[in-house]
Amino acid sequence: MNTPPKENIPKHIAIIMDGNGRWAKRRLQPRFMGHRAGVKTVADIVKRCAELGVEVLSLFAFSSENWRRPGKEVSLLMELFSHALDNQVKKLHDNNIRLCIIGDIDKFTPTLQQKIAQAQELTRNNTGLIVNIAANYGGRWDITQSVRQIAQKVATGELKPEDINEEDISALLTTSALPEPDLFIRTGGEQRVSNFLLWQMAYTEFFFTDVLWPEFDSKQLDAAISSFSKRERRFGRTSEQLQGQSDA
């Protein structure tokens, strides 16, 4: 497979992996089979991102709203996450990949929390791709927990309310060590953000595809990157300014 020039590769890709349930339903299978097939897609997309030299891949695995699903589906998703950690972490580590988990993991069982801690510990010094899994994650939760820490600093007199700036809030988000996403991909046809990285995606390029997550593959990832590479990211400026045609 061709590798596009480095400057066309987003540093950080964030994905909402959606459509597992519908994929299974189309095949007259229980929803869970879709989630299982989705884990295989994760492995393929991680591999392709590592090949392309992407720095960070953020994957939305379980949202803070997904607890509203039937209890059986939630517990099967937890089991799947736990098995994926058992089976995939060594391979990630062998490939110099660093695994990070963001989200309110206090709500998970102690065993799952322990596996998450071990996986992060094992891979923490790896220097290749960072795979950032959002589990029991919500963008509003992330902003809230940042603001809560800021309020504590104000309460202790460490910070004055009038000195609070955007950097202070960013620095206490769960993604503070990572660049902001350049490209956001959502599979499964829905065109919404579903409480993913709300603050962090202020200037992210969006790419939506009808392809269901179990059928998303490296070719489609390449197509999303190709679309991204053709866009002009103006960050509020004019096109002329970016092309150096303006003296302003």
Q: State the catalytic residues.
A: 18, 66
CB of residue 188 to Mg ion, shortest distance in Å: 6
Residue 77 engages ligand IPE in binding (rule: CB under 6 A): yes
| Binding partner selected for residue 22 from Mg ion, ligand IPE, none, CB under the kind-specific 5 to 8 Å limit | ligand IPE
Q: Is 186 annotated as a binding residue?
A: yes
Please give the Cα distance from 51 to 49 (Å, whole number): 5
| Binding partner selected for residue 62 from Mg ion, ligand IPE, none, CB under the kind-specific 5 to 8 Å limit | ligand IPE
Please give the Cα distance from 149 to 154 (Å, whole number): 9
What element of type H or E holds 63?
Answer: strand 56-63
Q: Report yes or no: 231 and 205 within 8 Å, Cβ to Cβ.
A: yes
Structure tokens given for 139: 């963008």
Give, as ranges, the residues between 53 and 72 that touch ligand IPE (CB under 6 A).
60-63, 65-66
Please give the Cα distance from 223 to 239 (Å, whole number): 24
Backbone torsions φ then ψ of 218, nearest 5 degrees: -65, -30
Please give the Cα distance from 205 to 181 (Å, whole number): 8
Tokens 């480095």 sit on residue: 6
Residue 18 engages Mg ion in binding (rule: CB under 5 A): yes
Q: Which is nearer to ligand IPE, 60 or 108 (CB)?
A: 60
Q: Is 166 annotated as a binding residue?
A: no
- Pick the stretch among 12-20, 167-175, 221-229, 233-241 that binds ligand IPE (CB under 6 A): 12-20
Q: Report yes or no: 16 and 60 within 8 Å, Cβ to Cβ.
A: yes
Give, as ranges, the residues between 161 and 220 that touch ligand IPE (CB under 6 A).
188, 190, 192, 194
Q: Is 83 annotated as a binding residue?
A: no
| Binding partner selected for residue 44 from ligand IPE, Mg ion, none, CB under the kind-specific 5 to 8 Å limit | none
Q: Which is nearer to ligand IPE, 121 or 210 (CB)?
A: 210
Q: Which is nearer to ligand IPE, 17 or 131 (CB)?
A: 17
Please give the Cα distance from 48 to 99 (Å, whole number): 16
Residue 20 engages ligand IPE in binding (rule: CB under 6 A): yes
Structure tokens given for 174: 């769960």
Please give the Cα distance from 160 to 151 (Å, whole number): 10
CB of residue 38 to ligand IPE, shortest distance in Å: 6
Angle, vertex CA 50, rays to CA 217 and CA 62, nearest 5: 60
Residues forming the site for ligand IPE (CB under 6 A): 16-22, 60-63, 65-66, 77, 188, 190, 192, 194
Binding residues: 18-23, 31, 35, 63-65, 67, 69, 186, 192-194, 205
